[in-house]
């Protein structure tokens, strides 16, 4: 299985045509300096076939130099197209700008330095990033025939990953889903097959972010294969800056300064440690005696002097505690039992009272919810109206009497209204005729005439 990031320029005829020799000089404008330069010195399609960049070799070399100098050593960075601002494969950069091959290699070296580790013992640096190889030096992975059919798709995903068209998460997710159980072996095989240093470092980083390995990369240079590594996962650590608190992805944490001190003491010969222990052990024992044993002895000796008062106090406190427990735990239960006993003695009267209260409650509910409800009142009115109609239809003499009574009431109502109107008119006329001087007999005759007039005026007859 050979999965390499072949440069897209080898498969693109247009790219080779741009770099081919030509007798006719075509001038093109650089998008950075805006100078007219020969078309052979113009780099196009830097980040892909859809790239619209058109930059002269001088500006491109200056851009690569600035980008390389601005990236700190050991920082994982990408070399992006100056026009599209999209990352491009380092092999494609070398094809696009042959004059800046050394600067591109310097940029790759800075990225590769992110895998440098420094031995805490001999202080010799070592790089753990595997070198690219054309052939697979590892034995093939045994897998089923159904998984072997997925290898071309994996190779296509790797090519897209090397061209920055597919993210690292998508590639790893594809490998986990299509090759379950072989993810670690495949990623371990893919790392040396990628030529782009930045892409190879990214894949190695994702491989390190997997589950905690039982045995990881070590520094074996100059130690006779005795590395200094983390005790739980055997991972070598080098501190650059920051605080002393270190937390490994396996879950363990420790203090860097304390671990360095223990490591330095481990380098001291055993006989020197034993000699120092023999010197300092008496002082340590004496300090422990003074700080821990003597205070306890003094306390015991003082307690014996106050043994009798202490017993009295203990008995008093014990009695208080007993009373408090009785008051909080026993008395509530006793009261509850007494109440239950009293209830059991008066069970029959309580049952009678309960039945009486239930009857009153149901009567109250019936009066409130039924008798006083609007629906009940409307039903009664409708029932009464229906009963009256039936009585009138069944007994005709009731209808005649009702008509006579209605006519009589109507006549009395009209007469009452006439008297009310006559009284109001008399009051108005009395106010207007106050200046006329009349005797009592004349006033009585006038009032009688007025009354007869208004009576004849408002009289409607017997009808």
pLDDT tens digits for range 125-155 = 788 888 887 555 445 666 677 777 778 888 8
Q: What is the pLDDT of residue 362?
A: 93
pLDDT tens digits for range 285-310 = 998 888 888 888 888 888 788 888 88
pLDDT tens digits for range 54-72 = 888 889 889 988 988 888 8
CB contact burial 141-165 (16+ within 10 A = b; e otherwise): eeeeeebeebeeebbebbbebbbbe
Angle between helices 151-162 and 168-178 (to 10 degrees): 170
Classify domain 1-211 at the CATH class level: alpha beta
Token couple for 47:
């980040």
| Higher pLDDT pick, 429 / 192 | 192
pLDDT mean over 237-264: 76
- H helices of 326-463, in order, are 331-345, 347-366, 374-394, 396-432, 440-458
Cα gap 30→33, rounded to integer Å: 6
Domain(s) labelled CATH 3.30.40.10 in the chain stretch across 1-211
Cβ atoms of 209 and 19 closer than 8 Å? no
Q: What is the pLDDT of residue 392?
A: 81
């Amino acid at each position: 299985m050979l999965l390499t990031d072949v440069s897209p320029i080898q498969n693109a005829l247009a790219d080779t045509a741009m770099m081919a020799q030509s007798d006719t000089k075509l001038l093109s404008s650089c998008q950075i300096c805006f100078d007219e330069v020969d078309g052979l010195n113009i780099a196009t399609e830097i980040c892909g076939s859809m790239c619209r960049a058109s930059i002269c070799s001088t500006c491109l070399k200056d851009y690569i130099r600035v980008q390389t100098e601005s990236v700190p050593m050991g920082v994982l960075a990408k070399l992006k197209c100056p026009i599209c601002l999209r990352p491009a494969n380092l092999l494609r950069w070398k094809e696009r700008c042959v004059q800046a091959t050394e600067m591109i290699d310097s940029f790759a070296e800075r990225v590769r330095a992110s895998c440098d580790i420094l031995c805490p013992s001999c202080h010799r640096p070592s790089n753990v990033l595997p070198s690219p190889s054309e052939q697979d030096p590892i034995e093939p992975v045994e897998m089923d025939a159904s998984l072997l059919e997925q290898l071309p798709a994996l190779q296509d995903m790797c090519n897209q990953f090397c061209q920055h068209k597919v993210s690292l998460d998508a590639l790893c997710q594809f490998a986990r889903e299509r090759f379950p159980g072989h993810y670690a072996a495949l990623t371990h095989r893919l790392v040396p097959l990628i030529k782009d240093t930045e892409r190879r470092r990214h894949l190695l980083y994702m491989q390190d972010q997997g589950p905690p390995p039982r045995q990881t990369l070590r520094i074996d240079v100059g130690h006779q294969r005795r590395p200094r590594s983390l005790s739980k996962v055997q991972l070598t650590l080098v501190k650059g800056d920051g605080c002393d608190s270190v937390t490994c992805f396996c879950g363990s944490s420790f203090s860097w300064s304390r671990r360095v001190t223990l490591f330095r003491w481990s380098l001291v010969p055993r006989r020197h440690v034993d000699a120092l222990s023999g010197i300092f052990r008496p002082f340590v024992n004496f300090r422990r005696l003074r700080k821990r044993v003597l205070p306890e002895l003094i306390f015991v000796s003082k307690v014996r002097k106050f043994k009798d008062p202490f017993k009295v106090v203990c008995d008093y406190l014990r009695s208080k505690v007993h009373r408090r427990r009785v008051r909080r735990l026993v008395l509530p239960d006793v009261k509850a039992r007494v109440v239950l006993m009293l209830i059991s003695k008066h069970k029959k009267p309580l049952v009678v009272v309960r039945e009486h209260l239930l009857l009153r409650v149901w009567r109250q509910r019936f009066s409130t919810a039924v008798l006083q409800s609007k629906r009940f009142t409307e039903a009664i009115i409708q029932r009464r109206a229906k009963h009256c109609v039936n009585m009138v239809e069944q007994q005709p003499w009731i209808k005649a009497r009702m008509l006579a009574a209605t006519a009589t009431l109507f006549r009395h109502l009209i007469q009452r209204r006439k008297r009310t109107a006559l009284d109001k008119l008399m009051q108005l006329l009395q106010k207007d005729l106050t200046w006329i001087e009349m005797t009592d007999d004349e006033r009585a005759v006038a009032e009688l005439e007025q009354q007869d007039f208004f009576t004849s005026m408002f009289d409607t007859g017997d009808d």
